[in-house]
Amino acid sequence: MKSNGKLLKRKKELERNGKMEQEQQSTDSLYDFLYVDNQRASSLLAQMHGPGVVTSIKHVTAEIDKSVSDAGFDLKLVKSKIGVEETLNHSQEKSFDASWTLPINLLDKLDECGLIRRDLNGERLGSTVLCKGKMRIFDISVFQKSVPFIAKMMEMEQPKLPPKAKKSNFQVDDQFIAPGVTFGMMKEVLNIVPNTLQVDFINEAGQTIWMTINRDYLTINPDDMVLKYGSRLPGEWYVIGFIDALPEAEEDMTDTSPFEPNPMKDGIHGMLSGIRDLAGRSGNSYGMTPLIIFRNIQ
């Protein structure tokens, strides 16, 4: 029995492998996503794409190979030759997790709709901005847990004095850790500040952005980041998100509707502003709700 089906099948396999190599070579760049706010990203993408957000992809392929064989019969009186056609069906089904296409699809769709602004050029509240720069992360929970250890370290660093002199002259809470800020003040503030992950971001123009991030949306354990990097993450990073707070100088220009005076509330407002300046966003920084934080892989 002779068959040319194997040659046909081999040719199709070569063509398919060549196509896969071309698709792999067409990848221009790769991204390492540090943070993806899945809920907000899905909400935005669903608004821009009618059917909703794709969560899974199923790829089904089918191939049909045909071969012709010669079959001969010699029955004394009857000698004949007939062609027998064989058909082989091959099917393959693959399922893909589409969740990791969410940030790429969101970036493409926002850019397609012209909704992404590059850097900070007088952006208003609600603007979607893409910035490139350096960043550092502060895990407040780590500071809160490390206060007793830091206090002991500060005591050990003091010169050895007689017990009475040491007790009367040195108090950990009275030691300055920054201009105008004592260790005791920092300890009290840490008891008030919520357990948050804060990000300080500075773009290439020297403008600063302050953010808080949800640890559930990080792709790296924040405790591992502390052990590896400390607070400052090396390299250049990109962040895309909503501007939701302006520097005080710009905010005062747009604030045309002051609230009715109230002594108690005005006093609380002043105290909260002080806590914000000490342990949160500074008066010179923008505030941002980040959607995606990533870097290029080279």
Q: Which amino acid would we find at residue 140? A: I
Residue burial 220-240, b: 16+ Cβ < 10 Å; e: rest: eeeeebeeeeeeebeeebbbb
User: Which residues lie closer than 8 Å to 109 by C-beta, 6 or more apart?
Assistant: 44, 45, 48, 49
Per-residue pLDDT tens listing for the chain (298 residues): 444 444 344 444 444 444 444 344 445 778 899 999 999 988 888 888 766 666 666 667 777 766 655 555 555 545 555 555 566 666 777 776 677 788 888 888 898 888 889 888 877 888 999 999 999 998 888 877 877 877 777 777 766 656 655 555 667 777 777 777 787 877 777 777 778 899 999 999 999 999 999 999 999 888 888 888 888 999 999 999 999 999 887 776 666 667 888 888 888 888 888 778 877 888 889 999 999 999 998 7
Each domain of the chain, given as residue ranges in start order, spans 110-297
Determine the Cα–Cα distance for residues 198 and 139; give it in Å rounded to an integer: 6
Answer whether 103's CB lies under 8 Å from 41's CB. yes
pTM of the model: 0.70
pLDDT of residue 195: 81
